[in-house]
Structure 1
């Protein structure tokens, strides 16, 4: 059996209870050493073998899984955040299907949730933004033409950019081309929930400069939108004048 597990955004106590239990039961752990906090390996049993996938190819990862399965063992594939976001798990699952190896997925807390916690912010504020676009700047890994950053920016809603910290000059250009004003609030969140977490608040037009000044080159999320400082309407859910299925409005 292979268990794909979301490690969470960084802090070792933000892995799920299920994920921690499966880590403790694994005979082999393959983890993304360049992204996952190694403190999570404290959950493993003494006899567990650990592989750092940072220097491995897909074929090498699959070979370890197949070897472990042939020996009757259990493999944990530990991915950063939640494996459904930029986790490259589909190609692994398709290969396991071809080898008739069973697997399951344990979700994790995504770093975009960790970033909101670091910012002490809510992405969806009434009359500010009720949508969140999670995307990335096109780089060595491209994006479909319809998902070009300027087109995504044209919606004007909350945006969270993964894997884009090294391309911030291009990010600024695309965001403003899409309709964000230069002074739209933005923030760079470096290693959300890690001990070395850093929050750098800025604007769309100062993203690249802010990253340089704070020596942030990778492992950061970019957040953009009015949710960072705009005025907003009170939620109707807790408004005494609003009736819903659990409460009648006050007279």
Structure 2
């Protein structure tokens, strides 16, 4: 069996129990070396073969997995965060299907969750934002026209922008074009949940300067929205004047 496993955002204790067990049992581990915390590999068997996919092509990764699968090995393809978000797993699964290989996907904690933890923030605040948009700016790899940042920004929702730290000027321009104000709160979370985690807060107008000042070039999320401010309403779920299935409102 081939297991696509989410390694979590960085903190080695944020891999799932299932993910850690599979990693400890694996005969072959192929991990995203540029992103996955290598400390996770300490649970691997001494005899396990461990390959870093950072320098490998898709075809080379598949060749190794299929070779191991044909031998009856237990294989872990270790992805950062959760494999379903910018994990490039669809193309791997489609190729594995052509061989009839057996595989499963084990979810992980995404870095956008790690960023919220670092910020001590809640993305969905009553009467502020009830929607979280996970996206990235178009660069060398384009995005569909209907998903340009300016169009997504028009909703005024909470936005978590991946893979765009080197495109700060474009991000700022597109968000302003979409309707965010210059003083919209923003945060940059560098290496969320890693020991070297850093959090920088400011406003949209200053986003490029923040990134330049702190010499950020990769492995950081841009988070935008009024949820970073001080205004919100209490949840109705715990409001003493609100009746729901489990509790009558107090008089």
- TM-score tier by shorter-chain length is over 0.9
Q: Secondary structure at the match of 2:182?
A: coil
- Deviation at 1:221? 0.5
**Structure 2 match to 1:155:** 155
* 1:188 partner SS: strand
Q: 1: CA distance between counterparts of 2:38 and 2:198?
A: 19
SS at match of 1:201: strand
2-structure distance, mates of 1:160, 1:5: 23
Partner of 2:32 in structure 1? 32
Residue number in structure 1 paired with 2:61: 61
The alignment partner of 1:218 has SS state of: coil
Match of 1:175 in 2: 175
1:204 is displaced (CA, Å) by 1.0
* 2:177 aligned counterpart, secondary structure: helix
- Deviation readout 1:30-63 (Å, 9 max, x if unpaired): 0000000001001111110000000000000001
Matches within 5 A, 1:1-251: 1-251=1-251
Q: Aligned partners of 2:212 and 2:226: how far apart in 1? A: 23
- After superposition, give the CA deviation of every residue in 1:119-158 in whole Å (9 maximum; x if it has no partner): 0000000010000011000011111100000000010110
Are the counterparts in 2 of residues 28 and 50 from structure 1 also a CA contact under 8 Å? Answer: yes
Cα distance in structure 2, aligned partners of 1:142 and 1:154: 20
* Structure 1: tracts of 5 or more residues without a match: none
CA distance in 1, matches of 2:215, 2:55: 25
Give CA-to-partner distance per residue, 1:168-195, whole Å, 9 cap, x none: 1100000001000111000000000000
- The DSSP-based 3-state class of the residue aligned with 1:73 is coil
TM-score by length of 2: 0.99
> Deviation of residue 203 (structure 1)?
1.0
Q: Do 1:6 and 1:108's aligned partners in 2 also have CA atoms closer than 8 Å?
A: yes
Q: Secondary structure at the match of 1:97?
A: helix
CA distance in 2, matches of 1:208, 1:28: 42
Deviation at 1:230, TM superposition (A): 3.4
CA contact (8 A) 1:128 1:230 kept: no
Q: Deviations over 1:171-227 (max 9, x none)?
A: 000000100011100000000000000001011111111011111110000000000
What secondary structure sits across from 1:195 in the alignment? coil
In the superposition, the TM-score normalised over structure 1's length comes to: 0.99
Distance 2:172 2:230 in 1: 20
| Contact in 2 for aligned 1:156/1:179 (Cα 8 Å) | yes
- The DSSP-based 3-state class of the residue aligned with 2:199 is strand
1:86 partner SS: coil
